Amino acid sequence: MTVQVSQLSNGLRVVSHRMAGLETATVGVFVNAGARAETDNEHGVAHFLEHMAFKGTPTRTPMQIAEEIEGAGGALNAVTSSETTNYYARVLGSDVELGVRLIGDLLLNPAFSDDEMDREREVILQEIAATQDSPDDIAFDLALEEAYPNQPLGRSILGTSRTIERHAAADLKRFRNENYAASRIVLSAAGAVSHDMLHRLAEELFSGMPVEAPRPLKRARFEGGHAQSEKRFEQCHVIYAFEGFPNGHDSAFAGRIFTGIAGGGMASRLFQEVREKRGLCYDIHAFDWGYSDSGIIGLHAATSPQQLPELVSLALGIFGELADKGPAEHEMARAKAQLKAGLFMSLESCEARAGQLAWDLMVFGRPLTNEELIAKIDGVTREDVQAVGRRLRSKPEIVSVSVGARGAASAVADAAEAFLSGTLAPA
């Protein structure tokens, strides 16, 4: 595996993987500052800033940016998450320098013109409006609010119509100046790339960035609670969530295997028992999200209001059975195979590989080898997975959310309490 890592004098890290047989590359600047870095008065600023990166610089109009990258057959994109903001380009190997220079210009020299701010404000308001038509989005937003109340991690990444309406260029500049620093940035590339060229470009473009960001991050506190929205939809959506494990935690892979066995595919317990044998829903799955100092393990399903009480009792009963009895060996083997395949299939994409390299540097301080990943997965035992379930049951903090059915909250909350007390009927 041809992975190289270097570092600028200001602390910015450069990592690359030259992938044999590829004629294209993905190059990206990954900033360890996302929506979670916002103050209470900045809700939605991180995402707004990412949008404005494409709206012109002192030397390029938005149209010139689009024409320059697309004229080379490439594409630019960016994404804001709770903890990171990523700017990346997909290009031919011969155009890697173009991609890096464009990203550097967008990142370092956004124009923030009033006209472009107003136009993009309307785009983001439409993006927010679209989430209000999605019961899934409403449910997960409510779940995060209950898991991390009165904290940036518990707020939607997009902001609200009220906060987006009031943000000005000065707010975006302040967020950028207080969070975008060399020690929080990784320049990562995968595919047909030269590490020496990447490092040279990084020195040229980013060596003047400040070393440290003046704004520290506050530690997350998972608290739990019950929430509902009675906005009318055809189905009732339900979410249960528990505190999981931070990224890089010793039990993180056990948590992933737990959710894989519980609800990670068509052979999982949730899918088989709730959908295939009982016909209670079309989709049900478990999920596992990691943050730098916290995490969430949970399940999500949608069903009719009439079938909701049976579904929630059965679904949480499956979580409880894994806690009480642990998984079977064949379930362990299947979940490990799924996890390995998912990891390695995604890493055949240069875009996913560039992202993984940056993530490894931020979480572990170095890229992990495939052999290390396999060893971490294979090292998880039945007892480790059972311990995850017992941990979920032992903590009093639980999130329960229902969306789309009047009066559903009581059945959802009652099932949560029964799960914690061990009085839920077995699956």
Enumerate the active-site residues. 50
Cβ burial, residue 354 (10 Å; 0-12/13-18/19+): buried
DSSP per-residue string spanning 357-407: HHHHHHHHSSPPPHHHHHHHHHT--HHHHHHHHHHHHH-S-EEEEEESSTT
Under 8 Å CB-to-CB from 45, ≥6 apart: which residues? 38, 159, 167, 171, 172, 175
Please give the Cα distance from 260 to 271 (Å, whole number). 11
The conformation of residue 271, written as its DSSP 8-state character, comes to I
Four-CA torsion 209, 215, 29, 12, nearest 10 degrees: 50
The DSSP H or E segment spanning 75 is strand 75-80
Four-CA torsion 377, 382, 384, 387, nearest 10 degrees: 150
Buried b (16+ CB within 10 A) or exposed e, 207-227: eebeeebebebeebbbebbbb
Instruction: Count how many residues are written for the chain.
Output: 427
Token pair 């309406």: residue: 165
Helix (H, G, I), strand (E, B) or coil at 17: strand
- According to DSSP, the β-strands at 225-229 and 284-290 are unpaired
